[in-house]
Chains A and B, each alone.
Chain A
Amino acid sequence: MTTLSLQGLATMARINARTGWKSLTIWVLALIAMMVMTATSITSLYDTPAKLRGYAESVGGEAMLMLNGKVAGLGSLGGVIANEFGFILSFGIPLMAIALTARGTRKDEEAGRLELLLAARIGRHAPILAAVLVATGALLVTGVGCAVAMIAAGVEVGGALLYGAGIASLGFVFVGVTAVAAQVFEHTRAVWGLGLALAVGSYLLRGLGATGDNALLWLSPLGWVDEVRPFGETRPWPLLLALAAGLALLGLAFWLSTQRDVGSALVQPRGSQPRASAFLRSPVGLAWHEHRAAVIGWTIGAVALMATYGSLTNEILDAIEDNPALGQIMGANQDAADELLAQVISTFVMMLAMLVAAFAVMAVGSLRSEEDTGRLEAQLSGHRSRWAWLGVHVAVVAAGMALVGGAGALTLGWTTSASTGDDQWVGEVLAGALGYLPAAAVFLALAVLLLGVAPRLRMLSWMVFGAAAILAYLGPGFDLPTWLVDGSPFQAVGSNVVGDGMEGVGGAVLAVVAVAGLVAGFLGFRARDIPRS
């Protein structure tokens, strides 16, 4: 191994911070802000020791262990905050580490900036180390910030500081992971891919380890951080595991960086098929090629989310039956409990409908990049009409919506049945999901309309979606006027679609709006300039 060459480290660190301070600041502030919000809402909801103890009883269970791991000290304020912050910690911190480290390593190298810098008076290892130092510094600040937020909320100082150290240590492991990945892969997206896969893997391993109470826990950096037990029987040594792993990965990354040429990667992109298959050459095949990754990703997301919700249904049922106030109203009536559960499951299906609608907005929005990249021009200069091109893409997106929604609904139905032991839920959930079809279709139509008529206003469909989702999600709880809440397509189809079925009028209006939007979008797309900047 050649010796470490660190000339210009300070310069590199300055360049890194100067060019990346925006995203760096946003990551740090966003994560600390989430901790502040979590801590304040917990302190106001659980303002007595008795209520805190009640928290531990109400959230116990396998599902929670799978989601947030085994959080020690659930009876204390710190434990409750840690449990509520668990999901953000599990993904937010690794994502931040990946983003900040990849930016200063492979992204610079892919863009050719690294070559430029190394040709100047910058040592070979300086850029990597600078990226690592800046990212680690940002993670430390995040950890300290979160600890301070917890202390301000009334958590005991030692535990909060240890928790903050856990945040920074977890991030440090993923800084190391990303630094290694940056040596291995030639494209930034592959670095992200590996980082994300390891983040999800760590999350699942920790969940399995916590539910099974076994050694799998120790294979996951999230498990190490949990086992510090900042709010239980404290023991700092698992943090050393994280530090050691991070340092070892960084050492590996430094060594790997000397084993390759600048601008190259250890894994060379491999060649592939020199000819396109008949399917790929067909319009449908090409459209599928372009939407495939998104369809698969969103389907996995929908299935994971619905499986989580479905597996919680039995606990919800228990909570309904145990609630003395509700119990008095319904007695021990199982049907009445099921009705209440149907209401809750309607909300789950509504979330699924939002996912499907968001997928549609995203997928149709991505067609705009076909235009920006010149691919649309290239295709339309052949003997393919505009309507044929748009029609095929809308059909493929619609099929993708069916796949995301269908897989999500089936998963929710199955897991609900498995959780409650009641088979009828599969059919009811599927029927309920169909009831949301007009709501999702409206967003597909809106996106197509904007693409055809006002492509520059693409973000408008996200704004409408955001407003509709917030109204539908928060409206009923905030006692907003009915007309306003029902104005959201997600509520216009009914507020309890699984229990009561779809609102006929609302559904019909949405269907008409959707068809009108699609027609106008297609007409507009035929009449406008391509490309329109």
Chain B
Amino acid sequence: MTTPLIETTGLLKTFGATRALDGLDLTVTRGEVHGFLGPNGSGKSTTIRILLGLMRADGGKIALFGEDPWRDAVRLHERLAYVPGDVTLWPALTGGQCIDVLARAHGSIDGARRQDLIQRFDLDPTKRARDYSKGNRQKVSLVAALAADVELLILDEPTSGLDPLMEEVFQQVVRERREAGVTVLLSSHILGEVEALADRVSIIRSGRTVTSGTLTDLRRHTQSTVRAVADRTPQGLDALRGVTNIEVQPLETVDAGDGAGGSARRHEVHASAEPDAVGPLVGRLHEAGIHTLTVTPPSLDDLFLKAYSDDDSGEDSSHSAGQGSAEGGPARTEEALS
């Protein structure tokens, strides 16, 4: 196993009376797109600034490319490019000029890719930055960073202000960079974006890592939603382990008055199932004659909500949520890491 590009353990940072980071752990390995999720003010940007050597941690360990970013900031920066969440650019410079100025700070830039990205992001490089909308300003930072020849991209809420079409372009370009071997740290509070791109995710809250792992790992601790319409009343659902929130309702519309066919009435079934319980549940539904069936895996939103509802009561996580989450307590999945 190679050394991770980014490795922090127990990172601490206080601003006056507020504790911005309170034991933050983050590990990003080479070649992955790592989603860095958390609500506003949870410490994402502070972590990134410490990674960039712009701020100094008050405690904990941090290594960027295996070295100390505070001491070796300038040398390490040759290997990365950074997109801040909101940068005001230089109002009197055109977008194209801003790209070149930023690119110069990033080191070398691929001229052909710069051109290509400007086209794909539909950016007018002759317009002055003060005449740009927020989304267009963001495109400028993105083009400058994505066109740079670097090993690591650090993107801090990079798509704020982009429309869905441009968001699509962004995802496409990030995938291309990843194909080219670039590692990406993607900080975001847009779950869909992280879900679409990230190989692994770290979810943080109040300066602390709540959970981290691959999406599959994280989903292991949540439940899929199963919806089905069965020809007959399914039997024995209550006896299945790991199946909760069961609702079975007869569908009235199908009962089309052809005499005493009461038992043939169709039923709508709705239930939540843990990953291991999906198979047995579908088996029972099959016995009742499946008419339609959808199994929805947990979305990142569910993970997100779960991570926060588990952590809501502060240190004391003994009360388990009413949904009947199996293990209770925060889903620490470090042991599941490959």
Contacts and interface: CB of A to CB of B under 8 A. Distances in A.
Q: How large is the interface on A (under 10, 10 to 19, 20 to 34, 35 or more residues)?
A: 20 to 34
Contacts of A378: 82, 84, 87, 102, 105, 141
B87 to A, nearest CB: 4
A381 B78 contact: no
A385 B53 CA distance: 11
Interface in A271-294: 271-276, 280-282, 286, 289-290
A126 B125 CA distance: 37
Contact of B97 (A187, A275, A384, A385): A275
Interface stretch (B126-134, B161-169, B183-191, B245-253): B126-134
Contacts of B173: none
A375 B87 contact: yes
B54 A380 contact: yes
B332 interface: no
B100 A281 contact: yes
A383 interface: yes
Given A272-B128, A274-B94, A381 B52 contact: yes
By secondary structure, the A interface counts as loop
Contact of B101 (A269, A281, A374): A281
A276 B77 contact: no
A482 to B, nearest CB: 43
A7 interface: no
B88 interface: yes
A280 B54 contact: no
B104 interface: yes
Interface string A388-410: 00000000000000000000000
B162 to A, nearest CB: 17
A9 to B, nearest CB: 31
Contacts of B92: 289
A328 interface: no
- Give the interface centre of A187, A280, A378, A385 by most chain B CB atoms within 10 Å: A378
A385 B73 contact: yes
A380 B94 contact: no
Contact of B105 (A273, A289, A384): A384
B74 interface: yes
A99 to B, nearest CB: 21
Contacts of B126: 271-274
B87 A374 contact: yes
B13 to A, nearest CB: 9
A529 interface: yes
A380 B88 contact: no
Nearest to B94: A272
Contact of B87 (A271, A286, A373, A383): A373
Given A271-B124, A272-B126, A385 B74 contact: yes
A385 to B, nearest CB: 5
B198 interface: no
B49 interface: yes
Given A384-B74, A529-B55, A281 B90 contact: no
A450 to B, nearest CB: 19
A157 to B, nearest CB: 50
Contacts of A289: 90, 92-93
Contact of B89 (A187, A375, A383): A375
A381 B82 contact: yes
A477 to B, nearest CB: 44
Contacts of B104: 276, 281-282, 382
A205 to B, nearest CB: 30
Contacts of B56: 529
A381 B55 contact: no
A62 to B, nearest CB: 40
Contacts of B130: 187
B129 to A, nearest CB: 11
A382 B105 contact: yes
A271 B88 CA distance: 19
B101 A271 contact: no
B34 interface: no
By secondary structure, the B interface counts as mixed
Nearest to B100: A276
Nearest to A282: B104
A453 to B, nearest CB: 15
B95 to A, nearest CB: 8
B279 interface: no
Contacts of B74: 383-385
Given A281-B101, A382-B104, A529-B56, A271 B94 contact: yes
B97 A280 contact: yes
B86 interface: yes
B93 A380 contact: no
Interface in B80-124: 80-82, 84, 86-90, 92-102, 104-107, 124
Nearest to B105: A382
A290 B127 CA distance: 18
Nearest to B148: A382
Interface string B65-81: 00000000111011011
A374 B107 contact: no
A300 interface: no
Contacts of A282: 104
- Give the interface centre of B49, B54, B87 by most chain A CB atoms within 10 Å: B54
Given A271-B124, A271-B127, A381-B82, A374 B97 contact: no
A530 B69 CA distance: 14
B152 to A, nearest CB: 11
Contacts of A375: 87-90
Nearest to B56: A529
Contact of B84 (A274, A286, A290, A374): A374
Interface string B14-53: 0000000000000000000000000000000000010010
B128 A269 contact: yes
A282 B97 CA distance: 12
B108 to A, nearest CB: 10
B237 to A, nearest CB: 55
Interface in A344-392: 373-375, 377-385
Nearest to A376: B54
A338 to B, nearest CB: 47
B75 A276 contact: no
- Give the interface centre of A275, A276, A373, A529 by most chain B CB atoms within 10 Å: A276
A373 B92 CA distance: 14
Contact of A383 (B77, B86, B141, B154): B77
Interface string A230-271: 000000000000000000000000000000000000000101
Contact of B100 (A269, A280, A377): A280
19 contacts: A186-B131, A187-B130, A275-B96, A276-B97, A276-B99, A280-B101, A281-B100, A281-B104, A289-B90, A377-B54, A377-B87, A381-B77, A381-B81, A382-B102, A383-B75, A383-B78, A383-B105, A529-B56, A530-B54
Interface of B: 49, 52, 54-56, 73-75, 77-78, 80-82, 84, 86-90, 92-102, 104-107, 124-128, 130-131, 141, 154
Question: Considering the complex of A and B, which 9 residue pairs feature the smallest CB-CB distances, nearest first?
Answer: A382-B105, A271-B126, A276-B100, A274-B96, A373-B88, A381-B82, A274-B125, A276-B97, A374-B87
Given A272-B94, A377-B84, 18 more contacts: A269-B128, A272-B97, A273-B126, A274-B97, A274-B125, A275-B100, A275-B125, A276-B98, A280-B93, A374-B87, A378-B82, A378-B102, A381-B81, A383-B78, A385-B73, A529-B54, A530-B49, A531-B49
